[in-house]
Amino acid sequence: MRPLPLCLAAALAVACTREQSRPAKEAVAEAKGAATDAAKAAQLAAAQAKQGAATAAAEAQRATNAAGQAVEQGVASAGERARDGVQAVTRGVAELGQGGVVTGKVQALSPSRLELASDGQGPLQLRVDSRTQYVLHGERGQTPHLLAGDRVRATYVVEAQVPVATQVEVLTR
């Protein structure tokens, strides 16, 4: 009869162990579920962080490209303005040497133009403006006292490839 109490004790011990182990198993299962959920959340956060980093890197690259293009355009524009300036100075220096004196008879006079029948070489038409000085009998003035047929000596400079009278002196009437 001894085996029966031993069996009962073993059955009781197994029953108690099962009863006590059930909450432990549930706790382990919950812990495993929580760990799985935490791992999934960590993976999601890592994926979002990678996505954010990739987006930020792309934005930074676009900004760098835009800045590089702006710098290239600025350099090109500055170079172009410098070339234009050098060409203008070169043209101006060349034109300074192109001025001279022409003598001839007045054919026509307007507020912006003087036409001559030249005695020799020189331009037949000169532009006149508010800076043009007129000399009659040794007196200088801003207003022209010229008549058609007057023999004059005109000093001129070249501006933008156009001869401009700086002084017109009446020699004979």
| Reported confidence tier of residue 166, pLDDT bands at 50, 70, 90 | very high
Indicate if 88 and 113 belong to the same structural domain. no
> Do residues 91 and 123 both lie within one domain?
no
The domain tally of the chain equals: 2
Average pLDDT, the chain: 79
Work out the end-to-end distance of the chain between its first and last CA atoms, rounded to an integer number of angstroms: 166
Lowest mean pLDDT among 18-32, 53-67, 119-133: 18-32
- Give the pLDDT of residue 160: 86
Mean pLDDT of 88-104: 67
Tell the residue number behind the tokens 């760098």, with chain if given. 64
Q: 3-state SS string over 31-81?
A: HHHHHHHHHHHHHHHHHHHHHHHHHHHHHHHHHHHHHHHHHHHHHHHHHHH
| Secondary structure tally for the chain: helices H, strands E | 1, 7
What separation in angstroms does the CA of 80 have from each of 3, 73, 77, 87, 89?
A: 111, 10, 5, 10, 14
Shared-domain flag, residues 139 and 167: yes
Residues 25 and 38 in one domain: yes
Q: How far apart are CA 47 and CA 53, in angstroms?
A: 10
Distance of alpha carbon 156 from alpha carbon 98, whole angstroms: 9
Question: Among 38-47, 70-79, 88-97, 106-115, where is mean pLDDT lowest?
Answer: 88-97
Structural domain containing residue 108: 100-172
Could you give the percent of the chain with pLDDT greater than 70? Answer: 75
